[in-house]
Every structure is written in structure tokens, then in C-alpha cells.
A and B are shown apart, each in its own frame.
Chain A
């Protein structure tokens, strides 16, 4: 092992060196990486206290449908009685509840994005954090939809983050059952047309999640499945939903009010009856277990192994990874029953990833993070306090659909003050939002991949002229404001790029006219763009 291997470990596998990190990796760079895969999952401090997907769903439902509909009905009644004062008060309450929610959802997103970013900026297990981001991008829930904006973070916390060193089969199942994925790919409203509820309501299939499970989550578009497989898998996972769902609210408020709100539920009477065949195997008619068996098998297909191995190798090794490396990773994956820890270990042990240094271009968000790490910066400075959520348990479910509103329905509005974003917290929110928008201007809106395929991962996907200009301008501006406080530029180069720094960059940094200029040349250099 050489100094160059240490630099490869922190740059190619990690998120770029923080001060001192190259030294930590120098003793045994492979060991430094492999140790990050060990030990049980522990939730980072930064993420403690954020709401679950179920709580977010319940809250969303409460805000939009119960308060919206309920207050609307009360308003109508007041109008009929000619009570104009009450009509006006209710109008203000509706506006506060619904308008406030949209604002709060955006703020919640910013706050949780800040917490997640601060983990990346400060962690001493950056390889593990890269894996979280890699698998979160593979089974992605972006914030494209209003309903996913508030739960994309919770989805990643629940379905992805704890499982990056576990079995892929478990991660796939957790993802497909998570409200985040069910909402994003529309399965929450997919009803078997021949099911009891389908026949009564006329509601039908939505094949979106089933298609993307086959095309993007498991076998890959060339994995050998057909349109018929998509339909059969879609039928197999009908009834995988969350309570409540807007469009069938009457049904649910009447029949399902005892279910725990917001989380995953399986509705047998939404489930399409019958045996279904997916990729050559028949799955006998049944309930939840029918779809579960389909996913368990899809996770273990050789095509899935190849698809995942190719993506992992492409992410860490090269745009076009060697067929040999892909085969080795796929074999390990299958031999160890979809164990991601073993597959990742095989990746670190592969000779290919330690040669061909600097062949990958950092994606914009990783680039920005590596610049911040090099300077020892965080966004927002300090722990990000979680957002208080309305306590759904006080919702009196047994009091009928709307009768509970007669109590103190507006207490909930007071409990969530939007004033918390004043003062210091407003400044913190602005810092996070600025970081987000800067990365977005480089061509990547964090947590908002353009669709269920996630971010692409080749050089040509990121090396646009405008994107490169934005990176350079941004890092030079960052060095202007932060460079004076940084280390001597020559030492800065040694502790970030280390042995990967070419001679002309060393010379240019040594000759820099000012300290910020020297720091800027390091961060904006082509060598810092690569990994």
C-alpha cells in the first residue's frame, strides 16, 4: 500500500478528505474502507427525532383531507345559517392549515436535507455514506411529487440507510412496502379490477411500481422480462398501500378507521385474485405473501445480480467496468444470498479499483461536499433540530368522520408554529438552501433525481460545459470567502489530493498570489473534479 492508495481510498470511495483523514487511511487504506462496513447499524445523531414516513403520511392526510374537507363542511353549514363571522374565521383556518402545510413541507425538506448533508460533511465513515447515497439512488424516491417531498428523507432513513451492508432482498422489500415508494410510483392506489373492492368501485391497476421494480430495481431493462410480467407483478402487489388514500377516502374512513394511520397496510379485498406468472414462475393465489414471494425471487435472479454489479462497479470503478469485475461481484452477490456487504467487500478487494485512478468525474453534489469537507465546513453549523409533528393519536377516530372537529380542531394549527424559522434558524435554513441551490445550478438537484431511474453515472452525463463552468465559479467563490481561514494552500493540497496532485498543480499552488487564490486553484482544479 502506498500514499496513492490512501488518496484513492478517501477520494474514490469516500467523499473527499477532511483535514487529517488521509493520515487515518494511510496505514492500511483497504482496512480503513472495510472497517466502515462492519458493526451494526446505528442511526446518526443528526437524524434522530425526524418523523417517520407513517407519521408524515398521517399528518398529510390530516391536513389536506380531514381539516380541508371537515372545515369546508363546517363552513358550508355556517354559510347556510348566515353566520358570516364563523364563515370568515373558518376561511382563515383553512388557509392557515393548508397553506401553512405547504410552507412547512418545504421547510421540513430543507432541514432534513441539511441534516443529511451535515452527516456527509462530518462523517468518519464516508465510504458507508457513499453506499447510502448509491443505494438511495438505485431505489430512488425523489421529491418530484408534492406528496414525496415531505417523506423522501424518511424513506431513505427507513428503507435504505440501515440496509446498505445487509441483504438486497431485504432492502428491496423494505423499499417496495415503504409509503415513500408506494406514493412515488403510484402503487398505493392500484386495485385489482376483479377484487371485491375493484368490482364495487370500478378502480383498477396501476402498473408503474411493478414496471420499475423489474426495469430499474432488479433485472434491468435487458434482463429478459416482458410486458406480461409487468402486469402479473402489478397484480401480485395490488393491495400494497398505505392508509389512508385520498381517492378512496370514504371507503377507508368507514371501513378502515382502526388501522394504524400512515404506514404500510395490505388490503386483501383490493388484491387481485388468481395465480400469476412472473418471469416463468407461477405464484399461487394468495394475499400479501404472493407479491412478497415474487420480490424475493426477483432479488435472486442472475440478471438482477448482473444489473446491480454493473451499477456498483460503474459507480466506484469506471464508466465501463471490466466484464470480469462485474462477473465477480455478481457471483459473490448470488453466492451470499444477495448480501451487499460481501459484494462491497469484493469491490474493495478488486485490483481494478486501485488502478486507473481519477477516471471518474465527481457528480456535482459529491463535488460540492468534497470542497466543504476539505475546508472543514458544515451547512447550518451544528445539529439541526427536528420538526415537531402533530400528534395524530389525539384524533378521535371513533367519533365519526367529522364529528371530532367539533372539539378543538384548531389546536393542531397552533402546535406547529411557522415562526420557528425566524432569527438564527432562518439563517441556518438559508445556508442549507443556498448549498442546495448551488448544487442544483451545477446540474444536479439533490434528492430530486429526474425520475425513477435515479441519476445516471457516466462521465458524459455530468461533463457539460455549463455544469463545469458552474463548478469552477462556485468553488472559486467559496475559496474567496473561506480560503483565508484555511490551511496554507500547499499543506491544503497535501491533505486533500495528497499523492494524486500532479506537479503543475503543486507549482501553481505554490506560486499563488494570495491564500484564497491558492485554495481556489486546488478546489477548482481538474484533479479535484475527478476521483
Chain B
């Protein structure tokens, strides 16, 4: 599938039928210049594979063939050392560099407020910001609603979801945009104009299509989005969306809040993909090494694609809905668990640290005898970033994360 770059709408100005794209260059001030990127690794990334606790005496016994050797020993799973207890997955080389340059913080033994190990409930709870299913809007949308108007005015899309569907986290009262690479030739402006009249009477679909057209026009105006698509696979897609996110976030009057979903992290079997001989140079075609590589290359694309002054104002939160079982299961993988790893990175981040109230991995330390015990609530991470990076008021944080009064924001996450 070759994705051709859209050029038509730009010159024809068809999007102007829907909305004004008049840029406002008088906007920039310290606060509205901040960029926030939220990356959701859906499917339950194995936190002890992303950030192995190699210094734990029984770590290797619990993880079996998923964790042989120590950092630097050149084994198949050759971890990248962070400190005396933790390392990074061998494929996270760029992220390892960011850790040591003080631009990446690891949060470990962390989980959201949800405990029942269903992917879909856990993801929804994260996206809503609460386990309360009566709440129908997303935490990022409620954040947007609360932000001061100067944050939103003059921007056609102050927030955007990258991908063909809008994640629940961004759904709600505030209108947000979404974007994915163009796939069909441009329609004639005359036909679009006639169609616009029909959509105007549809209270639900009208505003939705309007947002789509304006995002598309913004994509055109910025030219090459680095999305000369090359096939399937969420790892490839993630790298491409990371390129696109950098382009959108670099734009002066572009979005300030962007989300990317990176899915398919559910690793019940053959997690390292290196244990069964077969094709691919003797390695069975497991997808998890490739997934970590995709993650790392996507992060490298962001760091490389964002202009240095934009990178300096950027905070990226990267989470998953839950960690996985501490012990390897019967099929060289891991099952749904609880505590896991999360990342905070970017030029605005006070990094180079692992934030963990480490619960240990001895039998009595595990939640229900099987999972890494969560000791940090990921809402504390999100609240801390919203407060320090976007100056969201404490009272608003309770609207964004209802019923989370007891979850105090983490402090000292962002450079002052």
C-alpha cells in the first residue's frame, strides 16, 4: 500500500468551506507553548521485560528464559543497565541514551486504579480516568475542557488523536481532531460544498466531519508527513505516527496535546520470540523483540523530529493498562498481571531516575502470589505531569481523575 501525499485540498482551499484556519501567531507564551504527548501501549506491556529488575536475587529464577544473563554479558537478552537494580530491554537503546542524558524517567511497580486483569476494562478505566463506568468522557478531554481559553483559541485542533479512531481518553465535550495518512484521492470542492450543506443539519456527524477536514488541511499545509506508508504492523505504524506527531507538535499553531495508540502488546506466548528455531535466521517470528524495537525507533523519531526548542518544552507520558505475571507461564510468555512499568520522557522532564517504591519479588511480596505489587498509582504520575507541565489546578485534577483525592500527584517530575 503506497500512500500518496495529499496536495489537492491545499490549493483548492476546500476546508475553508468548513472552518477558518487563520493562523494566530501572537499566541505563544510560556504555558501555551508546552507540548504534551500521551502514548498508550495497549495490550499490557510486560513491565519486567521492558524494565527488568535484574538485581533481584530471584529475578532470573522467576523469569526463566525471558531473562538470561546480566547487563553487558552479551547474552541473548543483553539488558541495558540503568542502576544496580534495574535495566532496560536490550532493544530500547535510544531510550537508554535518554535515561543517561537525564531526559527519561522510569516509573516502576505502577498501575492505574483498576485491579481485575481485563484488558478492555483496564484500558477503558485508564482512558476514562476512573473505574466508574458512569463517567462517559475521557481524562484528556476533561483536561482540555479545563484549560484556559488562550490555550485553545487560534488553534483549529488544540488536541489531536493520531490514528483512524479516536481513543476514549480524548472523547467528550471538547471537540478534538484526529488524523491518519490520506488514502483516497481528493474530492471535488464543488461536491464537498454540496455535501457540507447536508452534514450541517446532522448534529452528530456534522461537527465530526468538519474536524476531519480541518486536520486534513493542516496535514496538507505541512507537506511531507513522513508517512510514505509501507505496510502492516503496529510497530511500523507507531514509528510513522511518531514522525507525524513530531510534525504536528513542531507547528506553531498546531496541536499542543497529541495521543498515539500502540497496540498488540499482549504476550501470552513466545514472548522473547527467540526460543523456538524456525525461519528468520533461525529465530521463530516472535513479535515482541520487534515491538520493543518499534517503540525505541518511534521515540528516536520524536527526539530527532522535534525541533530542539520544541523538544525542550515537551513531556511524553507512556503507559500500559497493566503489567504481567512475574513468573513465566507454561508457554514462554506471561499472563495478565497488575504492576508494571511506565515512562516519562522529553526535554522538559527531570529524568535519569527510576521512581519506584520497589515491592520486591519474593513470594510474599507478590500481589495474589502472582503479580508485581503496584505501589505507585499511574494517576499520581499523570496528575503530577498535568500540574507541573500544563499548570492544571489541583481542584481540576479531581475533575480529570474523579475520586482520586487520596492519590497525591508525584512531584519534581518536570524541570522548572
Contact = CB atoms under 8 A, between A and B. Distances in A.
A504 B201 contact: yes
A521 B194 contact: yes
Interface in A309-323: none
A442 B180 CA distance: 9
B329 interface: yes
A98 interface: yes
Contacts of B166: 460, 464-466
Interface string A486-509: 000000000000000010110010
Contacts of A191: 330
B179 A466 contact: yes
A462 B213 CA distance: 16
A465 B191 contact: no
Contacts of A207: 329, 335
A146 interface: yes
Interface in A160-210: 185-186, 189-191, 193, 198, 203-208
Interface stretch (B98-106, B114-122, B408-416): B114-122
Contact of B165 (A204, A462, A524, A530): A462
A464 B207 CA distance: 10
B164 A443 contact: yes
B164 A467 contact: yes
A74 B161 CA distance: 53
Given A190-B330, A442-B164, A476 B191 contact: yes
Interface stretch (B74-82, B263-271, B376-384, B385-393): B263-271
Interface string B185-216: 11110111011011101101110111111011
B43 interface: yes
Most buried by B among A206, A465, A468, A504: A465
Interface string B253-288: 000000000011010110000001111000011000
B337 to A, nearest CB: 11
B180 A477 contact: no
B178 interface: yes
Contact of A464 (B161, B183, B264): B161
Interface in B148-183: 161, 163-166, 168, 171, 176-183
Contacts of B171: 460
B194 A189 contact: no
A463 B336 contact: no
A491 to B, nearest CB: 19
A356 interface: no
B179 A476 contact: no
Contacts of B284: 246
Contact of B183 (A227, A441, A512, A529): A441
Nearest to A234: B335
A59 interface: no
B56 interface: no
A221 B116 contact: yes
B178 A521 contact: no
Contact of A227 (B209, B332, B368): B368
A211 interface: yes
Given A190-B330, A453-B120, A208 B187 contact: no
Interface of B: 1, 42-43, 116-121, 161, 163-166, 168, 171, 176-188, 190-192, 194-195, 197-199, 201-202, 204-206, 208-213, 215-216, 263-264, 266, 268-269, 276-279, 284-285, 329-333, 335-336, 368
16 contacts: A186-B269, A189-B330, A193-B330, A246-B284, A247-B276, A361-B205, A437-B183, A441-B180, A466-B180, A472-B195, A476-B191, A502-B201, A508-B197, A508-B198, A512-B194, A524-B195
Nearest first, the 4 closest Cβ-Cβ pairs linking A and B are A469-B212, A204-B330, A443-B164, A465-B211
